[in-house]
Amino acid sequence: MEFKSKLGLSGEKIAEARKLASEITEPVQEFIDTHTTVTVERATLRLLGADGADADGVPVPNIITAQAGDKLAGGIAAYYINALVKTGKTPEELNKAVAEEGLDITAIPLSDKEQIEAKAAEIVKQLAARIEKNVDFRNKKLAASRGIHSPLIYVIVATGNIYEDVKQAQAAAEQGADVIAVIRTTAQSLLDYVPYGATTEGFGGTYATQENFRIMRAGLDETGDKIGRYVRLVNYCSGLCMPEIAAMGALERLDMMLNDSMYGVLFRDINMYRTFTDQSFSRMINAAADIIINTGEDNYLTTSDAVEKANTVLVSQLINERFAYNAGMPARLMGLGHAFEMNPEIKNGFLMEYAQAIMAREIFPEHPLKYMPPTKFMTGDIFKGYAMNTMFNFISKAAGQGIELLGMLTEAIHTPYLQDRYLAIENALYVHNAIADFANEIEFKKDGIMAKRAQQVLDEALAMLKDIKQKGLFTAIEQGDFADIKRPPEGGKGFDGVYEKAGNYWNPVEDWLKAKLGISCVK
């Protein structure tokens, strides 16, 4: 199909940019394929049935991987499954023995390989059935839903108490929200474990735990049945426990996950080798569970100028896209991110924001683009903020964005009140309805401000990709090419949790994921 652009973008340049992104990610992918991490192994344990925590709150997957030490290079799955075979225990009984009795499963002599593989096949079959059931349930509910908006209206809750979050989420859904995100408590991304059970205290958010996922999912399902519309649930699949949170989300039927290939490196100082390896495994899990990911390019514009560094957003989108394809994820699950973050004092800033959004839509036509609201330049003037959010809502609809995180009139002042969220939803619904068919009516001047702006950003992105291709992605990050933040390859948190796969490495969950997603296995 011939590429046609309202902005006059070159299809050849876009194709070249994608080719460069593929070449840039190739050596990183080679590293990913030959390495595992402590978090990948903990996620594998969770998917095989490991759960619970000891009296001190240390999760069972953490206890087991600590027992294994350097044995993780060969994969932890064999030890867990072997313990099930040798002891005759169920996963629940084995987890209890590890947490309460101090059982060291890595000290149990390994059974016959065929016995271990047969037990693994049985467990993985049960896992596949559970995830497939979640996907089928979601699809049936979506097919029967009425009044789902386009773009999807996405709002956040963040009280710190999961039970209060449910109340706020249910209220937002009844007011018209399609997507609810539960913000994680501050700095949870830096915890190298996932807390266990329901939580009622958090800082700027609520702990991401499997029980909290289950509680919120049940609450939204209850409201969804009441309003006749399936409400999607989101959490944050990033940080040191990225694959584990993906695993929990797949098990508890979350629908979207914030999941970026470089966010943890740049904004949380997590080691890049750890992050790149973790993002691959987490994206395989998300793809298998039909979970839409949201990438974090909007964050670049909070540390860099949105006009001068717009090209870095496009470059990151292309790199995120390539890593996601490598993980077996189709374009329909890639909610690539960008944001309405230019200084409102810039003349014709609205036109440049509009051009950026249209450009993203044209370059990524099959992707459910995640569009973020103005935050950097929001002030205590709630009336001006409301006007900025209205313009943002206009572009979201007019540029065909897929997922729109609504801005709040009290952004940057306090956690939004229920009425602030209501006003944000009311504003978006009004604007979206008022310009419902605007995108099909509008054309742009071939040599106008918007066309020139989009072409400039594409050219600058192409030049940046060529530069990164020459020096490599690790070096580009080290030199601060993204978000003006510099991170050394072997620095950051979690580097000691990266392992080169041994020749006998075995992971039945990874093998199942790759087979399901059509990814060639690299040993």
- pLDDT surpassing 90 at residue 204: no
CA-closest candidate to residue 444, choices 338, 344, 367, 361? 361
pLDDT for 412 beyond 70: no
Q: Judging by DSSP bridges, how do beta strands 179-182 and 232-236 pair with one another?
A: parallel
Taking residues 317-337, report their average pLDDT.
98
Q: Hey, how many other C-beta atoms are within 10 angstroms of the C-beta on 38?
A: 25
Our answer to whether residue 263 is catalytic in this structure is yes
Q: What ranges do the domains of the chain cover?
A: 149-236, 295-483
Helices marked H in 90-151: 91-101, 113-144
The DSSP bridge pattern shows strands 35-37 and 292-294 to be unpaired
**Between the CA atoms of 203, 208, 212 and 213, what dihedral angle is there, to the nearest 10 degrees?**
140
pLDDT of res. 523? 39
CA distance 50 to 110: 18
Q: How far apart are CA 487 and CA 477, in angstroms?
A: 6
Q: What is the mean pLDDT of residues 186-206?
A: 95
DSSP state at residue 59: B
Cα(150)–Cα(110) distance, rounded to whole angstroms?
Answer: 54
- Over residues 357-379, mean pLDDT: 95
pLDDT > 90: what percent of the chain? 92
Contacts of 459 by beta carbon, 8 Å cutoff, 6+ apart: 13
Residue 344 is given by DSSP the state T
How far from the centroid of its chain's Cα atoms is residue 218's Cα? 21
State residue 521's pLDDT score: 52
CB-hemisphere CA count at 13 Å for 449?
A: 8
Compute the average pLDDT of residues 333-357.
96
Specify whether the backbone of 102 is left (phi greater than 0), alpha (psi in -120 to 50) or beta: left
Summarize the confidence of residues 272-282 as an average pLDDT: 98
185-189, 310-314, 379-383, 384-388: least confident range? 379-383
- Tell me, yes or no, if 298 is annotated catalytic: yes
Amino acid 379: pLDDT: 82
The Cα–Cα gap between 146 and 136 comes to 18
- Residue that the structure tokens 């994680």 belong to: 184
Give percent of the chain above pLDDT 70: 98
> What tokens does 246 get?
């993906």
> Could you give the CA distance from residue 311 to residue 509 in angstroms, rounded to a whole number?
37
Q: Give tens-digit pLDDT for 446-460.
A: 999 999 999 999 999
Residue with tokens 């609205």: 350
- Above 60 in pLDDT, residue 160? yes
The SS3 call for residue 236 is: strand
The first and second tokens of residue 496, run together, are 């000691």
Of 51, 178, 278, 298, the catalytic one is 298
Nearest to 80 by CA among 53, 55, 46: 46
**Predicted confidence (pLDDT) at residue 2 exceeds the cutoff of 80:** no
Cα(422)–Cα(410) distance, rounded to whole angstroms? 12
- At residue 357's C-alpha, the angle toward residues 1 and 18, to 5°, is 50
Average pLDDT over residues 154-164: 94
The values of phi and psi at residue 231, to 5°, are -110, 125
**Residue 416 pLDDT exceeds 80:** no
- How would DSSP label each residue in 385-408? HHHHHHHHHHHHHHTT-SEEEPP-
What is the spatial distance between Cα 216 and Cα 221, in angstroms, rounded to a whole number?
Answer: 8
Q: What is the rounded CA–CA span in Å between residue 483 and residue 468?
A: 15
Confidence band of 291 (pLDDT split at 50, 70, 90): very high
Across 374-382, average pLDDT: 88
Output the six-digit token pair for 353. 């924001």
**Spatial separation of the C-alpha atoms in residues 183 and 169, rounded to whole Å:** 12
- How far is residue 233's CA from residue 474's CA, in Å, rounded to a whole number? 33
The rounded distance, in Å, linking the Cα atoms of 205 and 457 is 35
- pLDDT over threshold 90, residue 195: yes
Which tokens sit at 460?
A: 């600058």
Residue 119 is predicted with a pLDDT of: 97
Q: Which range has the worst mean pLDDT, 167-171, 174-178, 370-374, 406-410?
A: 406-410
Active-site residue, selected from the candidate residues 79, 154, 236, 263: 263
Q: Give pLDDT tens digits for 106-141.
A: 999 998 999 999 999 999 999 999 999 999 999 999
Alpha-carbon span 382 to 410, nearest angstrom: 6
Rounded to an integer, what distance in angstroms lies between the CA atom of residue 183 and that of residue 277?
24
Task: Decide if pLDDT at 414 tops 80.
Answer: no
What integer pLDDT is reported at residue 449 of this predicted model? Answer: 97
Sort strands 498-500 and 403-405 into parallel, antiparallel or unpaired.
unpaired
Give the amino acid at 75. G
- The pLDDT mean for the chain works out to 95
295-483: CATH topology is TIM Barrel (3.20.20)
Q: Compare 300 and 62 and report the one with higher pLDDT.
A: 62
Catalytic-role residue among 207, 236, 325, 370: 370
**What's the pLDDT tens digit per position in 25-45?**
999 999 999 999 999 999 999
The arithmetic mean of pLDDT across residues 75-83, rounded, is 98
Residue 11 in tokens: 């299809």
Handedness of CA 140, 254, 181, 301 (dihedral sign): negative
Counting beta carbons within 10 angstroms of the beta carbon of residue 182, is it exposed (0 to 12), middle (13 to 18) or buried (19 or more)? Answer: buried
Pairwise CA distance, residues 89 & 102, whole Å: 15
DSSP lists the bridge partners of residue 334 as: 293
Binned at pLDDT 50, 70 and 90, residue 320 comes out as very high
pTM for this model (two decimals):
0.96
Structural tokens at position 293: 């990911």
**C-alpha distances in angstroms, 520 versus 190, 455, 504, 515?**
32, 37, 18, 8
Q: Is the pLDDT of residue 522 over 50?
A: no
pLDDT in tens, 215-246: 999 999 999 999 999 999 999 999 999 999 99
State both tokens at 449: 């401000």
Coil, strand or helix at 36: strand
Which candidate, 491, 472, 512, places its Cα nearest to that of 30?
472
Both tokens of 19, joined, read 């080719």
33 is catalytic: no
Residues 453, 451: Cα–Cα separation, whole Å? 5
